[in-house]
Amino acid sequence: MIASLPMYDRPANAAAHDAFWVLVRDNLRTGGHAAPDTLNRDIAPMAGWGHPDLVLGQICNLPYRAKFRDKVTVIGAADYGLADCPTGQYNSVFIVHKDAVGNTPTDFARARFAANALISHSGYGAPQAWAKEHGFSFPAPMTTGAHDTSLAYVATGRADIAAIDTQTWTMQQRDSAHAKSVRVIGTTASSPGMTFITRAGENPAPYLAAIQTAIRDLSPQDAELLGLRRVIQLPMSDYDLPMPPLPGTIDA
C-alpha cells in the first residue's frame, strides 16, 4: 500500500507534508484502516494514482477526468483559500519575464509557451481554455516536466510565457529565486482544486474525516507552510470540463 502527495510536496515543505501524513495515517489507523508508515516519494504521479492499493493520493483535475475517473475514489478537493477562487477551487497565473513587452496573455498568443505537461490542467488545460475564450490557441508548448522548470524557463528567457497554478506560485515566491525575475499578467478561470483520492471502491467518509482532523491538528508552522485549509466535496459535475487540444510538443 502507498500514500503519495506529489502535487505540492517540495523540499521547503517536505517536513510539513510528513507531519500531515503522520496525522492522517494515525487517524486512519484509529478508525481501523491500514495506512503505510511514510509517504512514498519515489513513485511517479501517474503510477501512484493508478496503484491498486493507493491509500491516499492527490490528483490534478485533468488527469482525473482524462484517465482516472472510473479508477479511483474521490475524497474531496483541497481548499487553499486562494483569492478570487470559490472554495475548493484553484486557478493559474500567467507569468512572463519581468522585462517582457506585453501586459495580457493575448500579447503572447504566438510566443514560446512552456507547459509542465499536456496532462496538467493548471499548466496546459486552463491556459488553453483561456486562450479559446479569447479567440486563439497557444502554440505547441515546450514541455518542461514541472512548474518549477517552467518558471525557470521564463525567468531565464528560454520561454516567453507559462501558466503556474496559484498555490504553486505562492510557494515559488517563498522558495525560488526565479520568482523575482517574472511578473504575473493574468489568471485563468477557476476549476476543482487538487483532489484527494483513494483506490476505487472505498467509502470516502473515513478518509475525509482523517484529513479534516489532521488539518485541524497541524502545528501553526506546518499549517502555514502547507496552506491547506479544508477539503471540500464538490459536485462531480464541476469536473466535467472540456478536454484541451493535444498538439505536438517541442522538446524542451
pLDDT tens-digit readout, 124-176: 999 999 999 999 999 989 999 999 999 999 999 999 999 999 999 999 999 99
Domain chopping of the chain, boundaries: 2-80+193-234, 92-189
Of 99, 93, 95, whose CA–CA distance to 152 is shortest?
95
Q: What is the average pLDDT across 9-24?
A: 97
CA-CA distance, 110 to 31, in Å (whole number)?
54
What is this structure's pTM?
0.94
Copy the grid coordinates of residue 97: 519575464
Domain 2-80+193-234 part of CATH 1.20.950: no
- Predicted confidence (pLDDT) at residue 252 exceeds the cutoff of 60: no
* CATH fold label, 92-189: D-Maltodextrin-Binding Protein; domain 2 (3.40.190)
Tell me which residue has cell 486563439: 136
Task: Output the 3-class SS for 4-60.
Answer: CCCCCCCHHHHHHHHHHHHHHHHHHHHCCCCCCCCCCCCCCHHHHHCCCCEEEEEEC
CB 81 within 8 A of CB 227: yes
Matching fold, domains 2-80+193-234 and 92-189: yes
SS3 164: strand
